[in-house]
A and B are shown apart, each in its own frame.
Chain A
């Protein structure tokens, strides 16, 4: 039992099972859309799990990378006549490149200085998307052409459900592999103590930068999928509140846990839909629930539950 709980593949198999089950029980395409949004935001938050959970670095501007990926898919085909799928990849590369350039100076900062610097980055991206009306359509956003996968035009809730689920499975597999690799161990070492990690021969700044770049690529791919699924993107995607939401997903689900990240994303995507009954108190109830969860499950949902179950097992 403990072996199953600790196995690297358990979260992946569980995730795949859930993905296969949801379309069977979802009554309408509205529910499928919500599920697809959970997969897409999970993917964005997974990158942050690598950065925050593994490497212990905070980013409060991550929606900025999501915005870069999203607008790459919007701008490429509309203004440059490129293939949307190619733009999804280009957006990921561009996002990674920007993360690398920006990350080199900012990752030298620690603690809340790093948080503020990343926050600043996110705000700048949102500002540019807002004001470069000629390129981005300004605050009203711009429409995104449909993605064609090997001659198959992706439309409809069910198709997008499978595309986003597939993308998340691949993303989760990569994240789990990174966690088990020497890089993953190095990241956890510098998470615990940068001095000790450096003493053990780990190139601390290079590893931090690598985690930042990987996290940016995850967010960009998620942003690209989001833009293509909605067929429209607005600068709101890159907003500060979105960045905070991504961080909250990682923390609520459980820092450093892949399955927890998906649960955290599900929590923040599904809950607002069930809380609409509270109308104007919706935000307050959402905040209250987050507080309740953090008080009773301080490690996040998945790690706290795992610890409890492991303790009770012989």
Chain B
């Protein structure tokens, strides 16, 4: 039968569709003959959270390749089934369903944002498949869910680190100036929850909007409050840099504590000379080369930095480190469980003790699915426009 001329373009379109549908699965099937162990991942490699999700995706691919080069796990190759949710929690949920129902993964490492993680949790909890999240929100692990773990430290850990340092210096009364953005609000709440344990009280509590350009009035109030011994600024973005500048302009001599939210070189650049002497908690990866030679994390951080930068040509970030710890934790759990059964992997994950990662040293427990202590942060001080490790105060 002759194809009518008018139908031809249509058929062409249909042929393209068909070709993609047929070629699609062929492209993903691995070159391994043995039955692979499938590990799933959904990250936001594109979209507004790409600066978090992209290093995560690259790290996961890199280290699954590494695992296979070393012969895989339990003598079986490892297959990473990775999907990009584009920053959309709805898509993340669909891909999570697909990982469980269609791809039949035995474990999951992913969830770039807290929103996407929360959307995916019910899928993995229902299916009984361990899910190691790469997102920050404390609600992921509080309350503890049987199959959900996470690698990034929470705001609470940062607060505890700061208060430990204050307590060691004999500080008991502080002023707080918090951003009203999501980060600032969340950290302020977490800090206020744990502050009592350290015998510290907040005697001045101020805040500022995310786009404010002058915090002098709030800082003046804190300055004029009797008894303030140090100031804490939970905030993210440019707010903390302005606080730091105003703080110096007002000539306040009290110690200023910033959060892990500003642990990047751009903060030092924005705040300029005013940043001298500012203290903040930061993960080890930020100061990999300055870590003490006997620091257990030093070789791990150095190895990750070298491998990642060689493979991608881009500088390492804290976020990729979350992915590194996620995949290593799952790989170790599969090895120690001597099984690729999801429930056994979960049990082995929960039994993880003293795993030295990029983000920190993890020890999980039935009541603690984060497994990081305050030692996952280093207390830094800014000296001569660079980070310096602050010797712990005695």
B137 touches A140 (CB 8 A): yes
Interface residues of A in 6-51 (CB under 8 A from B): 28-31, 33-34, 37
Task: Indicate whether B90 reaches chain A with its CB closer than 8 angstroms.
Answer: yes
B102 touches A30 (CB 8 A): yes
Interface residues of A in 288-314 (CB under 8 A from B): 289, 292-293, 295-297, 304-305, 308, 311-312
Interface residues of B in 15-46 (CB under 8 A from A): 16-17, 20-21, 23-25, 27-28, 45-46
Which of B92-100, B223-231, B279-287, B379-387 has 4 or more CB atoms under 8 Å from chain A?
B92-100
A297 touches B10 (CB 8 A): yes
A140-B182, A274-B20, A292-B13 given as contacts; is B101 within 8 A of A29 (CB)? yes
Task: Indicate whether A101 reaches chain B with its CB closer than 8 angstroms.
Answer: no
Which of B70-78, B110-118, B149-157, B364-372 has 4 or more CB atoms under 8 Å from chain A?
B110-118
- Shortest Cβ gap from A145 to chain B (Å): 13
Contact of B182 among A133, A237, A296 (CB under 8 A): A133
Give the chain A neighbours of B174 by CB distance below 8 A: none
For the residues of A in contact with B, the DSSP-based class is: helix
Give the chain B neighbours of A230 by CB distance below 8 A: 89-90, 93, 119
Measured in the bound complex, the distance between the Cα atoms of B101 and A256 in whole Å is: 36
Nearest A residue to B91 via CB reads A272
Task: Indicate whether A234 reaches chain B with its CB closer than 8 angstroms.
Answer: yes
- Shortest Cβ gap from A229 to chain B (Å): 9
Interface residues of A in 195-254 (CB under 8 A from B): 226, 230-234, 236-237, 242
- Shortest Cβ gap from A244 to chain B (Å): 13
How many chain A residues sit at the interface, stated as a range, is 35 or more
Task: Indicate whether B217 reaches chain A with its CB closer than 8 angstroms.
Answer: no
Give the chain A neighbours of B90 by CB distance below 8 A: 37, 226, 230, 234, 236-237
Task: Indicate whether B84 reaches chain A with its CB closer than 8 angstroms.
Answer: yes
A234 touches B119 (CB 8 A): yes
Give the chain B neighbours of A143 by CB distance below 8 A: 118
Task: Indicate whether B12 reaches chain A with its CB closer than 8 angstroms.
Answer: yes
Measured in the bound complex, the distance between the Cα atoms of B16 and A285 in whole Å is: 11
For the complex of A and B, the 8 pairs showing the least CB-CB separation, nearest first, are A30-B101, A277-B24, A28-B101, A296-B9, A234-B115, A140-B114, A234-B89, A141-B115
Question: Could you tell me which B residues sit within 8 Å of A by CB distance?
Answer: 4, 6-7, 9-10, 12-13, 16-17, 20-21, 23-25, 27-28, 45-46, 82-84, 87-91, 93-94, 97-98, 100-102, 113-116, 118-119, 122, 137, 182, 185
